[in-house]
Amino acid sequence: MQTELKIRASSIGKLMTEPKSKGEVLSVGAKTYLRELAAQEILGIEFEVSSKEMEKGILCEADAIALVGRVRGLDLSKNAERRQDEFFTGECDVFEQTYREGRDTKCSWSARTFPICAADCEDKLYEYQMRVYMRLWDAPRWHVDYVLLDTPEHLIGYEPVTLHFVSYIPEHMRLTTWTVERDPEIEARMVEKVKHARAYYAQVVAEFDQTHAAAVVEQFEDVPA
């Protein structure tokens, strides 16, 4: 069983929360996430999470990238390459070879959730995700594009359709971009978190092997001769 794990770009933020207990490196939330990863590995089952918001993002991704290209005057195409190094793995949305910069596209669920200012875009989980992409693609900065598109009708449910049918609004008003600059010091802290995460992950796997192997022995010991 593999215990030398690599952390996905989309998950690194879960390790970066600071612990409340003095002397600890990993927070309670980080340890909970690592135990979940170990459970997936041990049981051989991926705990997939799905929602209508995520489904919209998948269904509308190509349209979102196309809108960003039109508004920003860029020739953009979806990236299909997954990269990894010693600690991280990730597959970004877009990488601009000309400018050596990347872009990640976020489809807002509705007009209510669409951020109209960059200050409303800032999110620590997304920030660390972009930092992994910058490391893997050796880019100086990464742009997070929040795009407002019509929601596929079958996903809307009981919400007012006025929140979801938005294509009448000019495209430049339906795109808000937040840019993350590369920072070697933050990257170094991310690597340290992964090193500690690996140690804890290995500990969890070893504990499972020990306790469950012992349970099997006890079961046979209880069988009458």
Only one residue has tokens 């992950």, namely 201
Per-residue confidence (pLDDT) for residue 217, from 0 to 100: 55
**Whether residue 171 sits in one domain with residue 203:** no
pLDDT of residue 1: 46
Tens of pLDDT, residues 15-29: 999 998 888 999 999
146 is a domain residue: yes
Based on the domain organization, do 117 and 202 belong to the same domain? Answer: no
Residue 102 host element (H or E): strand 101-107
In whole angstroms, give the CA distance from residue 172 to residue 176.
Answer: 8
In this predicted structure, what is the pLDDT of residue 214?
59
Tell how many helices (H) and how many strands (E) occur in the chain.
Answer: 5, 7
Q: What is the DSSP letter of 109?
A: S
- Let me know whether 79 and 146 are in one domain: yes
**CA separation for the pair 95, 77 (Å, rounded):** 8
- Cα–Cα distance measured from residue 93 to residue 61, given in angstroms and rounded to the nearest whole number: 9
Query: Does a structural domain hold residue 178?
Result: yes
Mean pLDDT for the stretch of residues 71-91: 96
Query: Does 200 lie in the same domain as 122?
Result: no
Q: Are residues 132 and 208 in the same domain?
A: no
Check: CB of residue 10 under 8 Å from CB of residue 132: no
Is 86 found in the same domain as 17?
no
In a domain, 104, yes or no: yes
Give the per-residue pLDDT at 171: 98
Q: Which domain holds residue 76?
A: 52-185
In a domain, residue 225? The reply is no
Work out the pLDDT band at 39, boundaries 50, 70, 90: very high
Domain identity same for 82 and 41: no
Q: Are residues 22 and 64 in the same domain?
A: no
Q: Is residue 221 part of a domain?
A: no
pLDDT in tens, 100-152: 999 999 999 999 999 999 999 999 999 999 999 999 999 999 999 999 999 99
Q: Are 70 and 171 in contact (CB under 8 A)?
A: yes
Which three-class secondary structure state does DSSP give residue 223? Answer: coil
The DSSP 8-state label assigned to residue 19 in this structure reads P
Residue 177 is assigned to a structural domain of this protein: yes
Q: Which amino acid is at 110?
A: S
| Residue 115 shares a structural domain with residue 58 | yes
The whole-angstrom separation of Cα 204 and Cα 15 is: 16
pLDDT at 50: 82
Is the pLDDT confidence value at 223 over 90?
Answer: no
Report the candidate in 140, 74, 157, 148 with the shortest Cα–Cα distance to residue 113: 148
> Is 2 part of a structural domain of the chain?
no
Q: Is residue 108 part of a domain?
A: yes
Instruction: Kindly report the backbone phi and psi dihedral angles of residue 105, in degrees, each rounded to the nearest multiple of 5, phi listed first.
Output: -105, 130
Total domain count for the chain? 2
Q: What is residue 36's predicted lDDT score, i.e. its pLDDT?
A: 95
- Beta strand 175-181 with 141-147 is antiparallel
CB-based burial label for 197 (10 Å; 0-12, 13-18, 19+): buried
Compute the mean pLDDT over every residue in the chain, rounded to the nearest whole number.
Answer: 92
